[in-house]
Amino acid sequence: MRHLKPQDGPLLVASHNRGKIWEIRELMEPFGFTITSAAEKGLDDPEETGTTFEENAEIKALASLKATGLVSLSDDSGIAFEALNGDPGIYSARWGGPDRDFAMAMRNVEEKLQSAGATTPDKRRATFVAVLCLALPGGETHFFRGEVHGTAIWPPRGTLGFGYDPMFLPDGESRTFGEMMSAEKHAWRPGQETALSHRARAFQKFARDALGVE
């Protein structure tokens, strides 16, 4: 694919989620792009009717592209628990109800884990998934997937991050994502091997393939 350049114009983050917009802005900062968002453009959220992260990411990216004509980058992400057969997965935000109350969502997860007998770390395995979709003029789309594995802890720890971060302990770490600053979760710069967070891992692939950054 042709590599994007800052002079190509603004990049629109196809989201109304302040946490996602913030994280993608932070990841894009070194590359000199002007960033706007669906929220700033006053766009409506499209109905997410897909059955995979890729399908829902594409729905959002194409909706923003169609509405504005701008190159659009969407994110569809969530957390999957082995003991819950992959739930909540693509429905992660919806487990927080119409207000996207993630404190409630985490309580719901914990109740279901307890009901499933997932009371020891080996039974509380979880995977955070993020899929970025880049939509280009003409409707061409490209996907970039990142995953990070870890364990669900209870009670949640930390007030940083957003979503399920406070109950997710990534493998090899002593702190949850909720106890890490976003810059630490995204501690990747061109030339480094692997970032820590799922979104940053997806972004690494995006930066390589769409921006031409090694």
Name the residues annotated as catalytic.
76
- Tokens found for residue 32: 């000199």
CA 132 – CA 144 distance, rounded (Å): 5
